[in-house]
Amino acid sequence: MNLIIVGASSKGIALAELALQDGHNVTIIEASKEKAQAVLQKYNVKVFHADIAQGGILDEVGADQADALIATTSDDSANLMTMFLGKERNIFTLISMVNHKEHQALFEKLGVDVIVDPEIIIARSLYNLLPQA
């Protein structure tokens, strides 16, 4: 599977690691030059230093061959732009983090699968590991 991940956040990198372990091809688009270089040095992935709003970046990374486009930035506007551009390019699987619950409906109108409030999901998972009294 060919995955494009926008955002080299800790969540984006964790996702990339899981995908690589399963033998998938991963491309990462990262706006920060320093983060992009760090990812390139550590992982066997294609890395593009670019802002998603930069014209044509999805074409440059080969979005026409992508099986999924996943937005993992902490900026909902960048994530929404990513999903909109993915929808325009007919990428079948669109997944995004939504950092502020009030933005969820915007993503869902595009038909995007969303993860809302990732910190709450992690906190619940940790809490569920506690012994029940």
Say what the pTM is: 0.90
Looking at residues 3-16, what average pLDDT do you find? 95
pLDDT at residue 126, rounded to an integer: 87
Domain borders along the chain are 2-128
CATH fold of the domain at 2-128: Rossmann fold (3.40.50)
Residue pLDDT, tens place only, 85-110? 999 999 999 999 999 999 999 999 99
Nearest 5 degrees, angle CA 70-CA 76-CA 78?
65
Residue 132 per-residue DSSP state: P
